[in-house]
Amino acid sequence: MRRLLLSVALLLAGLGFASAQMAPVPQPGPGQAAAVFAGGCFWCTESDFDHVAGVISTTSGYTGGKVANPTYEQVSGGGTGHAESVLVIYDPSKVSYQQLLTYYWHSVDPTVQNRQFCDGGNQYRTAIFVGNDEERKLAEASKKEVEAELKKPIYTQIAAAGPFYAAEEYHQDFYLKNPTKYKFYRWNCGRDQRLEQIWGTHKGNS
């Protein structure tokens, strides 16, 4: 499913695509750093990282694909190679990249390929987009630790960061702008229920 179908129908009807302009892509300021994660639905990934102490901002977008300036319709339809992703700007003096990785793993189901929860397709794959050799080293080490912990194959991709395209403005902070529709989608998609099965009591936020 491109997303939980009933939820999509309700969302599109309510939004009317009145705000289809793309959001700006923020850049880290002095003393700040950036990380990019794909964890399925970017509304959920954005919400989860917004609750991490030391995270300054989150931006929903698209990366890892072959089409410049993709739209939500293109990405969600499949075929562009992009993953729904989130750009995380953070303060390394308050939260390390290693800590972000730990939080990331506990907010996704890394044991499935090209899907997350109720959403199927490689646009909903899990992925860590690394910006340098140190990030790759940490990401690969953490992946091995997760595989040993879960005792299952881990399908999360670790790839070099490429162009990141911010999603349309109406996707940004969706969980704050449309809390009822967001909670309806997240619950019916079974995200937190599945996370609890994998990781025990989920320490993230919905």
Region 92-107 average pLDDT:
98
pLDDT at 9: 41
Residue 128 has pLDDT above 90, yes or no: yes
pLDDT digits (tens, 9 = 90+) for 53-78: 999 999 999 999 999 999 999 999 99
118 classed as catalytic: no
Catalytic residue among 41, 44, 118, 189: 41
Region 151-169 average pLDDT:
97
Residue 124: pLDDT band by 50, 70, 90 thresholds?
very high
Name the fold adopted by 5-198: Peptide Methionine Sulfoxide Reductase; Chain A (3.30.1060)
Residue 5: pLDDT band by 50, 70, 90 thresholds?
very low
pLDDT at 59: 98
Per-domain boundaries in the chain: 5-198
Degrees (nearest 5) of the Cα angle 126, 205, 200? 75
More confident residue, 86 or 8: 86
Q: Which tokens is 35 given?
A: 């990380």
